[in-house]
Each structure stands twice: as C-alpha cells, then as structure tokens.
C-alpha cells in the first residue's frame, strides 16, 4: 500500500523565485490537504480539496500561493515571489471520505529554504 508521496523532499531557492511542490495522495483518497509547519510549531492548515474542488483556504494562503488538483488525483502547491518567511516544511495529507470518521495520512513533506 503506497503512502502519500511528495516531491521534491528539499528545495532551496532565492528570494523572489517561484517554486512548485507536488503531492501524490494515497490511491483512491478523494480528499487532499496542505499544511505548513515551521520550526517548533505544529502544522497549520493551508487548504484542502475534495476531488478537484478546492473547498477551503486558510487566511495563511496569501495571493502568492496557489494550489490545484486538476484531475482529482495529484496536487501542486505553487509559491510565487518567495519570501524568507515562506521557509518551512510543507506537508500534504490525504483521506478517504467515509461516514465513520476519516483519518488524514501525511506525506514526508517538502522542506523549503528561501535564501
């Protein structure tokens, strides 16, 4: 059973550059979530999709951030004009919509460093 995968695992970029991260959820999971985690903190919710529909976006998701899930399978998170404050671990999770209670399973994360 393949888990959630994320690519790349690490990214170093210069301030002002654009970066894009990819997340592949567990097969058949229809919900996909993005979180951001900074050092010493718990993950903070950014956005989530049910199939290809983006259902909720956090206020943390400024207009420099955009997420897509075009065919309801993998998702991409793009950050435009990166700032040093964007340095963090970006975590993706997926879950299967069921009535008995869902569990989000997380990927290994993409660690972003903005210089």
Partner 1 sequence: AQKVTQAQTEISVVEKEDVTLDCVYETRDTTYYLFWYKQPPSGELVFLIRRNSFDEQNEISGRYSWNFQKSTSSFNFTITASQVVDSAVYFCALSESPFGNEKLTFGTGTRLTIIP
The residue among 21 and 48 lying less far from partner 1, judged by its C-beta, is: 48
Tokens 């990819």 belong to 22
Length of the chain: 115
Task: Please give the C-alpha separations between residue 73 and each of 16, 28, 42, 69, 76, in angstroms, as whole numbers.
Answer: 29, 8, 26, 6, 10
What is the C-alpha to C-alpha distance for residues 43 and 28, in angstroms, rounded to an integer?
24
Coil vs helix vs strand at 84: helix
What is the C-alpha to C-alpha distance for residues 6 and 37, in angstroms, rounded to an integer?
15
Question: Minimum CB separation from partner 1 for residue 2, in Å?
Answer: 14
User: Which of 33, 49, 65, 90 is the binder for partner 1 (CB under 8 A)?
Assistant: 33
What is the C-alpha to C-alpha distance for residues 49 and 95, in angstroms, rounded to an integer?
10
Q: Is 104 in the site for partner 1 (CB under 8 A)?
A: yes
Question: Minimum CB separation from partner 1 for residue 61, in Å?
Answer: 12
The interface region with partner 1, picked from 12-20, 55-63, 66-74, 76-84 by CB under 8 A, is 55-63
User: Which of 44, 66, 76, 80 is the binder for partner 1 (CB under 8 A)?
Assistant: 44
Question: Minimum CB separation from partner 1 for residue 21, in Å?
Answer: 15
Which residues form the interface with partner 1 (CB under 8 A)? 31, 33, 35, 40-45, 48, 55-56, 58, 89, 91, 93, 95, 97-109, 111
């Amino acid at each position: 059973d393949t888990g959630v995968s994320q690519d790349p695992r690490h990214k170093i970029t210069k301030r002002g550059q654009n970066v894009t991260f990819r997340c592949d959820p567990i097969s058949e999971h229809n919900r996909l979530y993005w979180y951001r985690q900074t050092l010493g903190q718990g993950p903070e919710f950014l956005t989530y999709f049910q199939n290809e529909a983006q259902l909720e976006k956090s206020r943390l998701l400024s207009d420099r951030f955009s997420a897509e899930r075009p065919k309801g399978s993998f998702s991409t998170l793009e950050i435009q004009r990166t700032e040093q404050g964007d340095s963090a671990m970006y975590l993706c999770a997926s879950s299967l919509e069921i009535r008995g209670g869902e569990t989000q399973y997380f990927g290994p994360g993409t660690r972003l460093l903005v210089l």
